Structure 1
Amino acid sequence: MGYGSRTEMARLGKLGGITLDGSEIRDVSVRIPITPDLPSRMQVDGQPLDPVPGLVILLNKPLGMTCSHKEDGELVYDVLPERWRRRDPAISTIGRLDKATTGLLLLTDDGDLLHRVISPKRHVAKVYVATLARPLVGTEGDLFAAGGLVLEGEAKPLAPATLEVLSPAPDGRHRARLTVTEGRYHMVRRMFAAVGNHVEALHRERLGGLTLPDDLATGEWRLMTPEEIEQIFL
């Protein structure tokens, strides 16, 4: 879970820094079952134990953050506790948002869940609000909905997608909501480029049946409940 090496944790235990149900665990050979309620029962160095494996994090991704473990610059993992980078299994993003895209992003150490969400067989919808450089001409919705659009450099046509024209942004710029069920590289930006437009800003507001909460500020994150996780597949 990233707290330290075996030797470091043994030393902390012998000093009384690990408690379970209010009692110190000084015998470091004790084996403790990992159960969902363990963080409410165990403390490490005076603080509740971190979430056990199987955690899912909902992040309101800010502009400029990269969904990577290794790239230079600000990473989405930087907002999490530093030791969480040492957890095993590792925490990874469920799909990616590019550096210039904001909004709903999930992270997890649950590999099965990750693959359930991104699997093409699941057809989990992803909903984006795009701010465009130019007004729509009116034919884009039918083109996207029909399926068959082939992006530059690809041979496989896109699955049908739903386009909704929105009222202009407060600054007067043109906006549209696009719902897709695939996760190709820079897909939304390339779709609008294919119809002669340019995405100036992009925000993901929904994944499946899960909507980005209004009370989750940009750059903030929280752990998801099992009920919220199931909303993805509704």
Structure 2
Amino acid sequence: MKLVKHIANLGYGSRKQVQWLFREGRITDAAGEVLYADDKAEHADIRIDGEPLDPPPGLLLMLHKPTGYTCSTKDPGRVVFDLLPPRYRLREPQLSTVGRLDRDTSGLLLLTDDGQLLHRIIAPKSKLPKVYLATLAQDLRGDEAAVFASGTLLLDGEKTPLLPAELEVLAPRCARLILHEGRYHQVRRMFAALGNHVAELHRERIGGLALDDLPQGQWLALEDAARARLLATDAVLNP
């Protein structure tokens, strides 16, 4: 792929705008030598204004989503893409969220431009565990763990029972829950089915990947080792 198209696909501008960057001498190699549009160079050796290029296609990002942001690109309010560099909206292939967290839910959110990886993560057959911390409006009544683990709980408006889920009680109104599927607003609907309301919801982990010390509102690109942890299916209640 020609350098102009490659850099434009990373969101640095239209092809015409990228050609202008070349003309201004703002695109160089790692040694500072000016590159020209018809040169050949490896992705890792290209600099724009002295800075390395963003990761190539196959990008996987981990974001610590705050509440108040939606995962839609069309929402008139704040969206998760506002937390990324503006050019990330212009990448081709397009960067998409891997599933969604609603506006009032915080925590681990993944974004990728790799369609195969996206479907591998969200496919029902993957049963990739997702760990949530829920703060409830009322005290737990005591039988939630047994009901969620039974594999018989049927959500309102659905015909297929939920897969068994594990619940750990942390306090009278606080619990950690591991799901092995991802239905619409599932955690909130599960507690609503038992007469409770989720006041605060935070996703701690997907597969073997946790937020760790990533500050709220911050993001990072995941390397191969982190991707391998993500696809682990043996998450436990006490990560």
CA contact (8 A) 1:14 1:25 kept: no
Q: Does 1:58 align with 2:68?
A: no
For residues 61-210 of structure 1, the aligned pairs below 5 Å read: 61-167=65-171, 174-210=173-209
Percent identity between matched residues is: 52
Provide the secondary structure at the position in 2 that maps to 1:152: coil
Q: Does 1:226 align with 2:219?
A: no
Pairwise CA distance, 1:45: 2.7
CA RMSD of aligned residues (A): 1.3
* Structure 2 match to 1:25: 35
Counterpart amino acid of residue 120 in structure 2 = R
The 2-side partners of 1:9 and 1:212 are apart by: 35
Please give the per-residue CA displacement for 1:19-43, whole angstroms capped at 9, x wherever unaligned: 12322112x1234455xxx1xx211
TM-score under structure 2 length normalisation: 0.89
Please give the per-residue CA displacement for 1:89-130, whole angstroms capped at 9, x wherever unaligned: 111111110100001111111111111111111110011011
Q: Does 1:4 align with 2:13?
A: yes
The 2-side partners of 1:229 and 1:143 are apart by: 33
Counterpart amino acid of residue 97 in structure 2 = T
* Structure 1 match to 2:214: 216
CA contact (8 A) 1:129 1:175 kept: yes
Counterpart amino acid of residue 28 in structure 2 = T
Q: Which stretches in structure 1 are left out of the alignment for 5+ residues?
A: 169-173
Residue number among 12, 15, 22 corresponding to 2:24 in the alignment: 15
List structure 1 segments (4+ residues) > 2 angstroms apart after TM superposition: 29-34
Provide the secondary structure at the position in 2 that maps to 1:124: coil
Counterpart amino acid of residue 77 in structure 1 = F
TM-score under structure 1 length normalisation: 0.91
The 1-side partners of 2:30 and 2:160 are apart by: 57
Counterpart amino acid of residue 199 in structure 2 = E
* Structure 1 match to 2:6: none
Provide the secondary structure at the position in 2 that maps to 1:134: coil
Counterpart amino acid of residue 159 in structure 1 = L
Q: Which stretches in structure 2 are left out of the alignment for 5+ residues?
A: 1-9, 233-239
Pairwise CA distance, 1:15: 2.3
The 2-side partners of 1:117 and 1:123 are apart by: 8
Counterpart amino acid of residue 193 in structure 1 = A
The 1-side partners of 2:217 and 2:181 are apart by: 25
Pairwise CA distance, 1:50: 1.4
Counterpart amino acid of residue 8 in structure 1 = Q
Counterpart amino acid of residue 175 in structure 1 = C
Provide the secondary structure at the position in 2 that maps to 1:185: coil
Aligned residues: 222
Counterpart amino acid of residue 191 in structure 2 = F
Provide the secondary structure at the position in 2 that maps to 1:176: strand
CA contact (8 A) 1:133 1:198 kept: yes
The 2-side partners of 1:167 and 1:93 are apart by: 32
